[in-house]
Every structure is written in C-alpha cells, then in structure tokens.
Amino acid sequence: MKWFSVVFGMVLAVAVIAVLLLIFGVKFENPGSVQGAALYDPNTEITVTGKVDQISDFACPVSEGEIGSHVVLKTADRTYVVHLLPSRIMRSQKIVFTPGEQLQVIGSQPPRMERNTIIAREVVRGSETLVFRDHQGNVMMKQ
C-alpha cells in the first residue's frame, strides 16, 4: 500500500506541474528553430507594390508562435504572403487592411522561408506609412 501511495503522489505532482506550466504559458520550442527578429535579414530587403487579395491570421514563426496577421499581396507578376505583426498588436493599434487596397511593402525575404514570403518592415497605404519593424526586424509597435 505504501508503494502505491508514493507512485500516486509522484504522478499527481507531475500532473500539477504540467497544468501550472500550461496555465502560465510556458512555451516548449525546438532550440534549433529560428523565430521572430532572427528571421529578418536586412540584406534581403525588397520593395513590392500590389493589391491585397486576402487577409488571414495564423500561428507563424515570425510572430514567435503567436497568432500573426498576414495579407496575401498580388503584384503584377507574383503573389506574396506578407507577415505583418502579431494579431493582438494589429487590433490594439486598430490597423485593418481590406481586399483590393493598394499597398507598397518594404521587407525581408528571408532565405529560410518560402520564396514568396515577406516579413514587412514598412507598409505604405496611400499617404500613410506604417513602420512595423526596425532595420534589424524588431517590432516597433507595441500593444
């Protein structure tokens, strides 16, 4: 009976620790994975102009696993997935894009991601310039 109590106590302790880690939002990541600003490479910056085709939010490495805001931008010859900012920042700054809007995007095309991917540093919409990141890829806008 004593042996059972020890094993049960250990299992219960592990379960409690796991629940606490989940509650406090501890992220378990692959130590070799590159995320966030580390993906941004100023040497691969390009400028593209096109129309917003789609808007979507999904978890991605640029937002460090957080839900990020993205637009699909159609240019004259290609379609790009543009990584903007974490969705919570977009909402807090009340930044909204709509399909059909003309945008100019300045950003990095990191070699570790798909060729049609851009991490936006600046987005120009009409006379408005939105600066999302500095030249090293660090997020400039905060919640």
> What is the rounded distance in angstroms from the CA atom of residue 27 to the CA atom of residue 91?
23
pLDDT of 31:
43
pLDDT of 6:
73
Quick: pLDDT tens for 96-137: 999 999 999 999 998 777 779 999 999 999 999 999 999 988
**Tokens linked to 36:** 């966030």
Quick: pLDDT tens for 14-47: 888 877 667 766 555 544 445 566 788 899 999 9
Given a contact cutoff of 8 angstroms between Cβ atoms, the answer to whether 121 and 132 are in contact is yes
- Structural domain spans, the chain: 36-131
What pTM did the predictor assign? 0.73
pLDDT of 28:
54
- Write down the CATH number for the domain with range 36-131: 2.40.50.140
Per the DSSP assignment, residues forming a β-bridge with 75 are none
Alpha-helical regions (H) of 68-132? 87-92
**Tokens linked to 39:** 């993906």
